[in-house]
Homo-oligomer: A and B are copies of this chain.
């Protein structure tokens, strides 16, 4: 039997990371989020800061130049995508786990028995959370969220050809701002 995996896709600031960690803790299985970045860095030679950004976000506010650069062959982002894919498939073959982000839902669609989760939240809740978590920055929290959302959706759409945030892609979608982090953890854990 295939390993059972929980994949968590999430909007920036919605608490997907902490939800993934808590679900994994309660289920006593590993959670891969920043750990994934280290593994990818070891295997690929890319810097963790590059992986953090380029492994989930379209490379620029203006997406077109990044994509048209492919006329000259695969970009660094394309190479990173291949390494990410390989590592995520390897982990899923090894043991049950929670994987946060990095299109794991798509990468594992035919490779593992996944519970595919999407965490989103209203703007007000996310704005408050990102200031608490990452501090103030020159842009408003709303601007930061809109930019991240846009580039994450573009990345997902480009590499997976699926629409990001579309309910039909997932088994369960939760609004963490209204439902609360702990209730989200509870629901996911029970369904697993």
Binding site for B on A (CB under 8 A): 118, 120, 165-168, 170-175, 178-179, 183, 186-187, 190-191
Contact = CB atoms under 8 A, between A and B. Distances in A.
A9 to B, nearest CB: 10
B179 A191 contact: yes
Contacts of A167: 118, 120, 165-167, 170, 173
A56 to B, nearest CB: 18
B171 A172 contact: no
A171 B175 contact: yes
- A-B pairs, top 5 by smallest CB distance, nearest first, are A173-B173, A167-B173, A171-B175, A167-B167, A171-B178
Contact of A171 (B171, B179, B186, B190): B179
24 contacts: A118-B167, A118-B173, A120-B167, A120-B168, A165-B166, A165-B167, A165-B168, A166-B167, A167-B167, A167-B173, A170-B173, A170-B175, A171-B178, A172-B174, A172-B175, A172-B179, A172-B187, A173-B173, A179-B191, A183-B191, A186-B190, A187-B187, A187-B190, A187-B191
Given A171-B175, A172-B172, 8 more contacts: A166-B166, A167-B167, A167-B170, A171-B174, A171-B179, A173-B173, A186-B190, A187-B187
